[in-house]
Homo-oligomer: A and B are copies of this chain.
């Protein structure tokens, strides 16, 4: 798929290419969709499809990467897929080693970062060596940051095994770790050399994780693509059953949207990229409030999305019934759209929001929607309006 084409054009291209490739040559990797992320010398391709993990070595060979590599994975994903990754890399002539970190947000710590560095140094990875990030968002963020900083930056290839990683964190090169005082406070912009979204790996993804990933999918519809939003409403059953064909369309469309946004604002300096934070101002607050336990990221974003939609109706031109549609879709997915507030919890939420790293000059700013598919970043919102909207998302 080429950036900027509509999903339906891409579908036609895909169908044709697939039909004419019934007897694929050994060197082709069908059935697969691709999204190009255009960032000059840092451009790369996202590959989306079935059975991609077995082709990992071939993809790395095409990138002319060095022989030695380290697969960084976690204790959930590693036992399932690390062997396949090692096999694929060895078949292609690489010398992989595996670094397994404990699954969860805890992996994104300075301590685990140091352990990864030590492993890479012990295995004598050098400048042409590379890292394979095998897992979801946390592994991708950690492994990407290891690659960004080991020997002042080596290559990495991302194999995204969660829906969230496939549609969101695999695109755009934001990598990093957490500090005790906040999430993602340390990191870099470091683009992968390639991303593989193997849809087969979603089959083992826990239901809760899959739903959480869908919160970001819905977000893309809200911020940029009403047609995608309608498709989600229409094809939700197939999506939730993880139908590979439907999912490949949806994942490719999300990657295309995000790559367009990132292409316009790689280093988050022009403000364009800020629209990706729709639903994230309240979302991050709720996540921090619950100690990152009660609600996982996508669930907090779901709540934040409802809040941002309600604020958009209150302060911008978004019709109430469109805000209802957003909430209804999230509800159908099985995501939380209401939360219990005590007065103390509400105060803590305000504090957490003000601590977020996106706050500048101490001011809380929101991305708000003028209509479905059209949002504006950097909107100041008075505390009174936030309070009123929190009432609307209170159970």
**At the interface, yes or no: A295 with Cβ under 8 Å from chain B?**
no
- A360 — which chain B residues lie within 8 A by C-beta? 126-128
**At the interface, yes or no: A174 with Cβ under 8 Å from chain B?**
yes
Assembled-state Cα–Cα distance A153/B184 (Å): 12
For residues 97 through 116 of chain A, which have their beta carbon under 8 Å from a beta carbon of chain B? 110, 113-114
Assembled-state Cα–Cα distance A122/B182 (Å): 10
Indicate if the CB atoms of B188 and A149 lie closer than 8 Å: yes
Assembled-state Cα–Cα distance A44/B152 (Å): 21
Which residue in B151, B179, B361 is a CB contact (below 8 Å) of A117?
B179
Question: How near does chain B come to A171, taking the closest CB pair, in angstroms?
Answer: 16
Which residue in B117, B150, B267, B359 is a CB contact (below 8 Å) of A126?
B359
Given contacts A126-B357, A126-B359, A360-B128, contact A117 B185 (CB under 8 A): yes
Indicate if the CB atoms of A188 and B185 lie closer than 8 Å: no
Assembled-state Cα–Cα distance A148/B190 (Å): 12
Assembled-state Cα–Cα distance A113/B110 (Å): 9
Indicate if the CB atoms of B113 and A181 lie closer than 8 Å: no
Question: How near does chain B come to A44, taking the closest CB pair, in angstroms?
Answer: 17
Indicate if the CB atoms of B186 and A117 lie closer than 8 Å: yes
**At the interface, yes or no: A176 with Cβ under 8 Å from chain B?**
yes
Assembled-state Cα–Cα distance A180/B148 (Å): 19
Question: How near does chain B come to A13, taking the closest CB pair, in angstroms?
Answer: 35
Assembled-state Cα–Cα distance A96/B280 (Å): 31
Which residue in B110, B114, B121, B182 is a CB contact (below 8 Å) of A182?
B121
Indicate if the CB atoms of A185 and B121 lie closer than 8 Å: yes
Indicate if the CB atoms of B357 and A153 lie closer than 8 Å: no
Indicate if the CB atoms of A185 and B110 lie closer than 8 Å: no
Given contacts A113-B110, A122-B181, contact A189 B127 (CB under 8 A): no
**At the interface, yes or no: A118 with Cβ under 8 Å from chain B?**
yes
Assembled-state Cα–Cα distance A149/B122 (Å): 24
**At the interface, yes or no: A226 with Cβ under 8 Å from chain B?**
no
Indicate if the CB atoms of B357 and A151 lie closer than 8 Å: yes
Indicate if the CB atoms of A152 and B188 lie closer than 8 Å: yes
Which residue in B118, B176, B180, B189 is a CB contact (below 8 Å) of A180?
B118
- A51 — which chain B residues lie within 8 A by C-beta? none
Interchain residue pairs with CB less than 8 A apart (11): A117-B179, A126-B357, A128-B360, A148-B188, A149-B186, A149-B187, A149-B188, A151-B186, A152-B176, A152-B188, A153-B189
* Interface, chain A (partner B; CB < 8 A): 110, 113-114, 117-118, 121-122, 126-128, 148-153, 174, 176, 179-182, 184-189, 267-268, 357, 359-361
Q: Top 4 closest A-B pairs, CB basis?
A: A121-B181, A152-B187, A110-B114, A149-B186
